């Protein structure tokens, strides 16, 4: 299997020094000059940090040397051995157009053929069959991150809360999402129970400029005693909204993106899953899909940003519907690429 390298951003090292021999390189954009096709793979055979050169072997055996700093749209992976058996739970770690699977989709191995091809029953009911030699973007699916577990439900959940991890990763949202995945039982394992509660109280909420209100104007000197008393009473007893149940909060999280982006059509779509922050909805009659993130950005089925018009066209909406809904949506068709993908 292929595991993404997480140490590729060292600014104090030459670009070539960030690669290791035997690394697998995926070329998202490709390079016509170097003879590297889009989404093709190559293996690092040598590095030359002094001259900032990397030499890779393409699938056809030909070797190519280049300056890695001048080539963009590249993913670098380390190959790790894994053993799989019939009945194992697996999760995909990369989008695959041919199999129609997305990053973090999960399933169970139903059969392993004599040619080593895997037959996997996906959690959504589909069955996919593939050769694990060229398609190595999958791993065991028994443990997932809190982020990728959103939208999932399991009978029993074991949660690892390591207080030595980064403070931004251990917070109330992480705890709520992790524990609420369990329908029957949840167990928390930690290295330091004494400080866990304090670490989980870390506030990671982001505040935008729109969240700040102007300071209230000074009270008028002409207020009568009665007006002043009534104002004090209202300030001491502000109206408190009714707290949401966990089910209501989960429902708002799932349907919030489409209700914001498509207020007149949201009620006919059914939420299916969330993958890396992108919510997927399906129309129960046409069986067509919409993929939207919490910022109102639309995506195609391969998690690539597309315009609102293209997304609605693929979902079978008319142009009239698109214009009307766009006028009502506060997000419009704005493009937000923050947090989607890491490329060199």
The token pair that represents 63 in the structure block: 């070797």
Predicted pLDDT of residue 129: 97
Distance CA 262, CA 66 (A): 47
Strand residue runs (E) in the chain = 2-4, 24-27, 40-48, 53-58, 63-66, 74-79, 89-92, 106-112, 118-122, 127-130, 138-140, 154-161, 182-190, 270-275, 278-282, 289-293, 298-299, 305-306
Tell me the C-alpha to C-alpha distance, in Å, between residue 136 and each of 91, 105, 165, 183, 330.
11, 14, 28, 32, 41
Block residue for tokens 């021999």: 21
Question: pTM of the prediction?
Answer: 0.54
Query: What do you get for the CA distance between the two ends of the chain, in Å?
Result: 21
pLDDT by residue, tens only, the chain of 344 residues:
887 776 665 555 678 888 999 999 999 889 999 999 988 999 999 999 999 999 999 989 999 999 998 888 888 998 888 899 999 999 998 889 899 999 889 999 999 999 999 999 999 999 999 999 888 899 999 888 887 777 778 889 999 998 887 667 788 888 888 888 888 999 999 998 888 888 888 776 655 555 555 445 444 455 555 455 455 544 445 555 567 787 888 888 888 888 888 877 787 888 998 887 899 998 887 788 899 988 888 888 888 888 887 888 778 764 334 333 443 434 333 333 333 332 22
Nearest in space to 267 (alpha carbons), one of 325, 182, 186: 325
Predicted pLDDT of residue 71: 86
Predicted pLDDT of residue 206: 58
Half-sphere exposure of 277 (CA within 13 A, CB side): 14
Distance CA 266, CA 274 (A): 16
Predicted pLDDT of residue 337: 31
Distance CA 120, CA 130 (A): 9
């Amino acid at each position: 299997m292929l595991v993404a390298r997480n140490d590729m951003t060292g600014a104090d090292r030459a670009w070539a020094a960030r690669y290791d021999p035997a690394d697998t390189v995926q070329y998202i954009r490709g390079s016509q000059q170097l003879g590297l096709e889009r989404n093709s793979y190559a293996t690092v055979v040598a590095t030359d940090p002094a001259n900032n050169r990397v030499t890779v072997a393409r699938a056809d055996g030909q070797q190519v040397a280049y300056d890695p700093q001048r080539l963009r749209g590249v993913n670098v992976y380390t190959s790790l051995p894994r053993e799989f058996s019939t009945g194992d739970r697996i999760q995909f770690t990369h989008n695959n157009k041919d199999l129609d699977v997305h990053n973090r989709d999960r399933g169970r191995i139903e059969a392993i053929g004599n040619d080593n091809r895997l037959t996997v029953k996906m959690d959504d009911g589909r069955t996919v069959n593939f050769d694990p030699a060229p398609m190595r973007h999958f791993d065991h699916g028994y443990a997932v991150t809190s982020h990728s577990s959103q939208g999932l439900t399991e009978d029993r959940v074991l949660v690892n809360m390591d207080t030595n991890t980064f403070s931004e990763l251990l917070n109330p949202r992480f705890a709520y999402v992790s524990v609420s995945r369990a329908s029957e039982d949840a167990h928390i394992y930690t290295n330091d129970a004494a400080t866990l509660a304090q670490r989980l109280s870390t506030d990671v909420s982001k505040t935008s400029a729109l969240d700040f209100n102007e300071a209230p104007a000074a009270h008028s000197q002409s207020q009568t005693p009665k007006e002043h008393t009534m104002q004090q009473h209202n300030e001491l007893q502000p109206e408190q909204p009714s707290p949401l149940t966990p089910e209501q909060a989960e429902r708002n999280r799932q349907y919030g993106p489409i209700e914001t982006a498509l207020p007149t059509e949201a009620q006919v779509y059914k939420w299916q899953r969330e993958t890396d922050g992108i919510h997927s909805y399906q129309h129960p009659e046409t069986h067509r899909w919409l993929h939207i993130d919490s910022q109102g950005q639309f995506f195609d089925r391969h998690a690539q940003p597309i315009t609102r018009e293209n997304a609605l066209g693929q979902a079978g909406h008319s142009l009239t519907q698109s214009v009307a809904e766009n006028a009502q949506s506060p997000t419009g068709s704005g493009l937000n690429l923050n947090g989607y993908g890491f490329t060199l």
